[in-house]
Each structure stands twice: as structure tokens, then as C-alpha cells.
Amino acid sequence: MPESRAAIKATGRRLLRRPGLRPPTGWRRKLVAYLAILGPGMIAASAGNDAGGIATFAAVGAEQGYRLLWILIPITISLGLVQEMCARMGAVTGKGLADLVREKFGVRWTAFVMLALLIANAGVTVSEFVGIAAATELFGVSRFVSVPLSAVAIWWLVVKSSYQRVERVFLFMSLVFLGYIVSAFLAKPDWSAVAVGLVKPTFSLEYAYLFTFVAVVGTTISPYMQVYVQSSVVEKGVTTENYARTKKDVWVGTILAILVVFFIVVSTAATLNKHGLHVDSAAHAARALEPFAGPYAETLFAIGLFGASMLAAGVLPLATAYSISEALGFEKGVSRSFREAPIFIGVFTFLVAVGAAIAVIPGLPLIRVLLVTQVINGLLLPIILFAILKLVNDRELMGEHVNGPAYNLGAWLTAIIVTLLSLLFILVTLFPRLQR
């Protein structure tokens, strides 16, 4: 059984009383406290910039130029709101999202929500190993070697290592995205056009535009990210007393993640779109880094893509394992052994194995797979959003920590717009004559 929060706090006090250890004071105390809480929001937001995310954002810049930059402003607010609601629910209730869905909505709703989550997560898990395959092939390493080895490494890291070590590795991997920032400046984009793209909304009923639009939403506000951030907050023992620091972590992680997205779009628009190039392969996407890395662009892109894919390939199956275990009422947690949590470890192992197996299928169109999985995420997202909103506004569950009017306005607008966008994309797909 997991340790109670009181026991965890007592352990901390005993450690501070050990000889030679003095509790930090002043700014050091604040820093230590923040570092102790740091993680769930930063990891979840950064995980959105995974293999599918990089492929999607590179395609946005290459295909649409700066036209879709404006969406990053509302999507930053939406992502932050959704992530914060889930983190708050974890701190207030001490339970994961699937746990709350099962308790409040019953078996049928739980099965429906879990099915939507499982479909979305299974597809994206495949995309992460596809990203690993694409990255290592740029190094000349066959996917038949790199993908199985990566799958084993991810499994060992999560199942055999400690949660704290897993989290540190995930955070370290997220640093690989910083190369896009430098590349965006060195590419010398038309900053006036960038500014116009940020403040001037554009919309089109063209299939390609809607496909890209839905993919951006799906890869940025991915369902698995919400499950992961809430479960992580619970596992770290965050309570309402120390939740303020986790809230900062969520918003800081969201803003930094979207900033990286911004620079990916700018760098690809300034290089690929400017010369009429498309993102049909990992090598094509790597060209956006040429202003920064020159002949080493492919190498740098491969490192970034590999790190991004490994980050999400660990987070995604982990979030799914949390969800299924919570929904079925089984033990869960990366600190548990297989004997203690067989369903949790089994689901995680299954997803990693299946994702890796599909990714090594010969002739698989890597970039297209990455984009399609993000669209699936976007189409299934409304189901998760409405469940979250119903739970976070349940006063019996959340007490005084329910959403305020401003939060509800932003959150409901997000859910409604995403739903309408998904329906519009389906209609245009089924009835091409609606395009103009």
C-alpha cells in the first residue's frame, strides 16, 4: 500500500533532523520547495512537443507559413487552463482522472471515456516509436535495431528505476527543444509577417487547412497529458497547502512549451515554406535547422527528435497505465513491483511492446503516421474535456476549489470550439464539396 501523505511528511522531518543537515532558509527554502514540486506540469506540457508534435508544427510552418501562428495565443490559454484543472483535481482529491470518472460517472461512462483515451493513446504511442525510428535512421541505424533497444530502455527506466529518476530523465530530455529557438533567429524570418500571423486570425474550409488545424489542437492539448499531470500530482503527494507551486509549474511549463512551438513554426516557415518545400520525411524537417547547424542539421534534428520521442514514449504508456488501473480500481504507481501492481505494469508493458512492433513494419509512411495520430487525438479530445469540466465543477468533489467564472468561461469555450472544429473536419472529410 502507498505511504500516507502524513508519513511522507514525517519522513521529511526526520531527514532534516539528521546530523549535519540544516533546513534551508530564505530564498534557498523557496528554491528547494519549488524544485521538490517541479515536474508534472513541465513534463506534461513538454511531452506535447513529441515526435508527432514536431512533425505537426514543422508541417504547419512548411505548408501554411506564418498563417497559423495566431492559434498559439488561444491555445496557450486553453492548454494552461486544462492542465491546471487536472493538477488541481489531483491535489484536492488525491485521486487520478480515471478514478474520479469511475466514481462519479459509473461503469458505462467510464468505459466510454477509457475507450476514447485508449484509442488516442495507442495511436500516439505508435507515433513515438515511429519518431524514434525516423530519428535513428538519420544516423544510419536501422529501425529494426533502434526501436527494440529503445523500447527495452524505456521499460527498464520506468519499471525498474525510481519515480524521481524517471522524472529527472524526462525533464533533461525536454532540453533538446531549445535548438529550434536559435535556428529561428538565424533563419532571418520576416518578423513583420510573423507579427501579422500572430495577431491576424485566418480560417479556411480547405481539407489541408482543417487537417493541420485539428492536428495542432490534438498534439498540443493531448488527452494523455491531462491524465499524466493529474496522476503525477497525486503520486508526488501534492496537497492544497503546497499546490500554489505546482500551479506555477503548470503555467511555466505551458508557456515554455508553446514558445518552443512558436520557434519551430517560425524556423520551418522561414526555410521550408520560403522555398516551397514540404515535410515528407524527417530529412526534410531537418532542413529548418540548417541556419543553425549547417551540414549538421540532420544530426541535430535527429537528436532532438529522438529525445522528444523518448520523452513521450515513456510518459504516454505511463499515463495510459495509470488510467486503466484507476478505472478498474487496481494498484498503480511506478514505485510498485509487478506483484503489487500487475495490471499497471502489464498495461505499460503491452503498450510499449505493441507501439514498438508496429513502428518496425516495413514501408510505414513515418511522417504521415505522425500527423494522422495527432488528428485522432484532436477528434477524441472533446470527450475528455467535457469529463474534466464536469468533475472540476462538482462542488461535492472539489469544495471551494471548483472553477471560478473566468476559468469556466475559458474552459467551456475551449471544449465547445474543439468540438465544433472536430465536427467540421469530419463534415469536410465526408463531403468534400464543402471546401472552398
pTM, two decimal places: 0.76
For 242-280, write each residue's pLDDT tens digit: 898 888 888 888 888 888 889 989 988 888 887 776 776
Over residues 349-367, the mean pLDDT reads 86
Q: Where are the domains of the chain?
A: 37-434
For 205-233, write each residue's pLDDT tens digit: 888 888 888 888 888 887 777 877 887 88
Domain 37-434, CATH number (from 1.20.1740.10, 1.10.1660.10, 3.40.50.1000, 3.30.465.10) = 1.20.1740.10
| C-alpha cell belonging to residue 11 | 519522513
Confidence of residue 17 (pLDDT cuts 50, 70, 90): very low
Helix axes 40-47, 297-328, angle to 10 degrees: 120
Weakest mean pLDDT among 145-149, 186-190, 263-267, 272-276: 272-276
Nearest Cα to Cα of residue 117 among 162, 86, 74, 160: 86
| C-alpha cell belonging to residue 13 | 522531518
CA-to-CA dists, residue 289 to 215, 265, 323, 346, angstroms: 22, 12, 37, 39
For 393-410, write each residue's pLDDT tens digit: 999 999 999 999 998 999
Sign of CA dihedral 279, 315, 181, 199: positive
Over residues 334-360, the mean pLDDT reads 86
Res. 46: pLDDT tops 80: no
Confidence of residue 110 (pLDDT cuts 50, 70, 90): confident
CB–CB of 39/184 below 8 Å? no
Residue 435 has what pLDDT?
66
CB–CB of 293/299 below 8 Å? yes
| C-alpha cell belonging to residue 182 | 536559435
Residue 48 has what pLDDT?
59
Helix axes 163-173, 40-47, angle to 10 degrees: 50
Confidence of residue 36 (pLDDT cuts 50, 70, 90): very low
CB–CB of 47/40 below 8 Å? no
Helix (H) or strand (E) holding 73: helix 72-93
Confidence of residue 33 (pLDDT cuts 50, 70, 90): very low
Residue 286 has what pLDDT?
76
Most confident of the ranges 40-44, 88-92, 211-215, 432-436: 88-92
CB–CB of 378/218 below 8 Å? yes
Nearest Cα to Cα of residue 69 among 195, 184, 198: 198
- Burial track 140-158 (b if 16+ CB lie within 10 A, e otherwise): eeebeebbbebbeebbebb
* pLDDT over 70 percentage in the chain: 82
CA-to-CA dists, residue 30 to 5, 89, 161, 360, angstroms: 20, 24, 28, 47
- In the chain the first and final C-alpha atoms are separated, in Å, by 59
